[in-house]
A = this chain, B = another copy of it.
Amino acid sequence: MAARDITETWERLARPGGSIMYLVIDGVGGLPDERGMTELEAADTPHLDSLADRSVCGLLEPVGPGITPGSGPGHLALFGYDPLRYTVGRGILAALGVDFDLREGDVAARINYATMQDGVIVDRRAGRISTSTNQRLCNLIRDHVSLDFDGELYVQPVKEHRALLVLRGPGLDGDIADTDPQRVGQPSRPPRPRSDDARRTAGLVASFVDQVNETLADETANTVLLRGFDTYRPWPSLEERYGLHGVCLAQYPMYRGVSRLVGMDVHTPALELDDYPSVAQSYRDTHDFFFLHVKPTDSRGEDGDYDAKVEAIERADSLIPGLLDLEPEVLVVTADHSTPAAMATHSWHPVPLLLHADSARRDAVTSYDERACLHGGLGIRPGWHLMGLALAHAGRLDKYGA
């Protein structure tokens, strides 16, 4: 297959232009219930439907046919980064999500505090300890664990039982398998290097785990499970690639992390959904790419709660008038993946896409839902097509060739 990446062509053609706003309604795509209606079809969404009537619609397959995206790849695709080419471990995303100042070459992993008994894991979340206990355990580890290498060890709480491990130093390599056995009744796994280059780093991690087990011996959370090891390599930013000055408004660290990975600024103070329009307004003069992330649709979908997901959709719908008041040249409404309540998990089903712009070729779609968008002017296409379409509609792409 010939090497071909249209995103590189967009890079070459990028020029200044209008502003672009993405409203990402996480997991909004669904499946019909027994009445034959998806969550979006059942929801009362007057603003989205009216906007669909004045926009061009379609469907995105975020990563590829049949692929159920995690949140990282799903979003990276929307930002114009081919998710099969740009891959990143969850540890890196976790670090970026808690504002950790990652530097090139750092190795990061997610920590889960867990409970071990007679050598096997009996609770992979140590009874979901509080964030303050988490903080105390991290302090204990910082005080008692010391690794034999020319570098630094960082242990930082995230939330409840989740924390972050970062190793910084020359020649580290994060190509290391998870230690989490993924089920109780088994011992945690050794941190196995997946390449020769990662052998030394895996040895340091093994020593880390041993010392933690000694340090926390008397705690309920008496061990750690490590997942998502990776080495941080900065990516070309949205600004470098497309000349976009991005800002992220998100309520959860994961989405702030993925935004930092592509060089966006991140609004860090706590946010309510209803604040999104006014907070976005405050970045109007300094930024021209706005990523607004709505989480509850995905959470309620993962709960398998159809009705609550319908409500979460209706709440997202209410944001539309305030966002239109900001008059972005391009307003996109879509999702990073579907999360049908019927499946209670992410899925591969295409997500509805709406693109509002003066330059949009309006179609006959008058409702923002999965089946109406099938007949939209943008068709069904890969998620990473979106950025090129957004840039074009914002007047940000030069002509290709003479």
Q: Which residues of A contact B (CB under 8 A)?
A: 1-6, 8-10, 13, 31-32, 36, 38, 59, 63-73, 82-85, 87-90, 93, 228, 343, 345-350, 359, 361-364, 370-371, 374-381, 385, 387-393, 397-402
Copies of this chain in its oligomeric complex: 2
Residue of B nearest to A72 (CB): B401
- Bound complex: CA A63 to CA B399 (Å): 11
Q: Which of B228, B370, B401 contacts A402 (CB 8 A)?
A: B228
A1 touches B401 (CB 8 A): no
Residues B82 and A9 in contact, CB atoms below 8 Å apart: no
- Known contacts A374-B377, A399-B70, A402-B71; A6/B84 CB under 8 A: yes
- State the main secondary structure of chain A at its contact with B: loop
Q: Which of B84, B347, B362 contacts A1 (CB 8 A)?
A: B84
A71 contacts which chain B residues (CB < 8 A)?
A: 402
A387 to nearest B CB, angstroms? 8
A230 CB to closest chain B CB (Å) equals 10
* Cβ B32 vs Cβ A82 within 8 A: no
CA distance A375 to B380 in the complex (A): 11
Tell me the smallest distance from the CB of A371 to a CB of chain B, in Å.
6
B67 close to A13 (CB less than 8 A): yes
Q: Is the CB of B346 within 8 A of A361?
A: no
Instruction: Assess the B65–A385 pair: CB atoms within 8 A.
Output: yes
CA distance A350 to B93 in the complex (A): 36
Least Cβ distance of A223 to chain B in Å?
Answer: 22
